[in-house]
Chain A
Amino acid sequence: MSRSTSTRRAPILAIYATVVFAFIYLPIVVLILYSFNRDGVGGFPPSHLTLDWYRQLFTDGPIWDSVLNSLLVASGAVALSLTVGLLAALALDRASFPGKALFRRLVLLPLILPGIITGLSLLMFVVLSGAQLSLFTVFLGHGTALISVATTELFAGLQKSDRAQEEASLDLGATPWQTFWRITLPNLRLALVAAGLLIFTLSMDEIAVTFFLIGRDNTLPLEIWGRLRRGITPEINAVSTLVFAVSVVLIIVWYRIRMRSVGTEAQQLPERP
């Protein structure tokens, strides 16, 4: 990269970028700030610092039930979408079958279609099958919709990995089964962890599909949604702040993993012709 073009100063652009950043961060800052405000959400400036809303939150049974439900659904969705997504990525990378192009597009549809369409389609399917709406249908919906994310990430991982390594493994006497467990999967482990984290976060936050598939037990976003109708309280700010904090921790984990992978790739680069 040329030093001259990358460090040239552009003061007007810099100011504009700062404004955009302010716009992006304003709601988040407001949210966190007012979760510590004794007089509730609204009014300016925020006055008395308090942890009351957090105290209230920790004794709020339904919220924690919904958090548990969300964790259950998200863990299941990660397992389901990674399993099917891994096979789908392998199939797209290595097999050729009739309708492959269609399959590729179909898998990706939930990623690019509005959630309401996927959610309603699945609702019709559940109703047709005669099943009851429950956390299980939510898990099924999340898992299926997020196969798109798993397939995209893992397919990219497969494309980056060196095919010669699998050939080397077969060449050294390993069966395809051994090669899959000893070479293919370990080579994909970063993509697997990254996809898993992403799917987990997306599932924890999913609302459009969940909206139509939910039964009696709420996930966290739907619990919050339900409370918003009854009016806004700083307790929601408090739980949102906690969700934000967990997200930030996950981001940091994700970057650690990514930096590590980038690091090893960088080390290998000079050896490659």
Chain B
Amino acid sequence: MSKRDECSISEKNEDNVKYSNAGVCPKWQFSSSSIGLVSMGDSFNPGLWNISDTNLGLQGNEIPAISRSSRTPRELDVHWNPAVSLSRGESSVQTGPGVLPPNLSHFPADSSFVERAARLSCLDATSMANPFRSNQALGPCSTDRDPDTRHKKDTEPAKFEFDGSGHENEAEDYSPKNLGDNKRKRSNEGLAMGQAQGDPEISTDTKKATVKTNGKQSKEVPEAGKEEYIHVRARHGQATNSHSLAERVRREKISQRMKFLQELVPGCSRVTGKAVMLDEIINYVQSLQQQVEFLSMKLAAVNPRLDFNVEALLSKDLLQCHSGTSSAIGFSPDLINPQLQLSQQGLVQTGISSNYGTSNAVRRAISSQLNLFRSPSTQVSNAYEDIQHVMKMTTFSHEEFNDKA
């Protein structure tokens, strides 16, 4: 939809106003269709084009003759039409309300259209912003500017009177009765008071009208902002809700861990209350660390004697640790049996000295040590079932080993 289209359309509309002998009926159609187009938003001009095409086929020759400067009033006429049709005789009143609100709702909705018009010319901008009122205001002004428009204006009232409406605010003189009529109808359509008040100012200034529309638009923007703000606040409320949810989850987690710690720390199961429990936990950790210190001290004191049997210790302590988790270690016969077949003390030494990194070597050492002191055939085959038995035997063997050492 280009500006050129707009221009031509308005010209044709002007022609429509000028030359249509049909009078109101085509106009009425035109306005109604234009309303539909308005409601459609941007597709304003093509519709107009079609209407002017269908309603009057004679404007084609006249378009070049019409000057560009006179375009504005003509455009205004286009917008003017629905209102006029509304304010026609009493018979058309019932049709009016259906027509006018969409047309009025055109003001705020068609901002892009207004912008385009503004780019076209300043006058257009003012008129397009508020077609309904500015055309009324421009009527008198534009008559001074252009003889063409004056001529048009002259024709228009005649047309409307021909319709039998008997109500024209296009003319220079405002009759109070007309104004009252106008007001009444607008109030019937539930228009804003400012618009009704704007009627007396119609002849004074077009800019005022545009300012008013701007004000209306700007009034709508904060409304939208407020709505968004409310929306944001709602989200804020949700966020707090989620925070509380997260907090609840965290508390549940903490209580769960506390329970776990309670099981872990001996003598803590009887205690109730988080503070006491934490005290217990702290005490236990401290005691454990002190025990580590104490035991390290003991080991340091014992260390000179330790040099002979560290390897034995290694295997023994590993085995003791293993016995706790029998399944994890896996004294499976298929693991042990090949080691049993090997059954060499030298393997133990090599395994300890070189292959420390793997627990496999440790197992090998254990099994071979087992091998050393016990008869391999008896107990190892069913060692998987009774690990305690194995443990006993191994400890026995180690004690033997230690005593020997």
* Chains A and B are bound partners: no
Residues of B within 8 A of A (CB): none
Residues of A within 8 A of B (CB): none
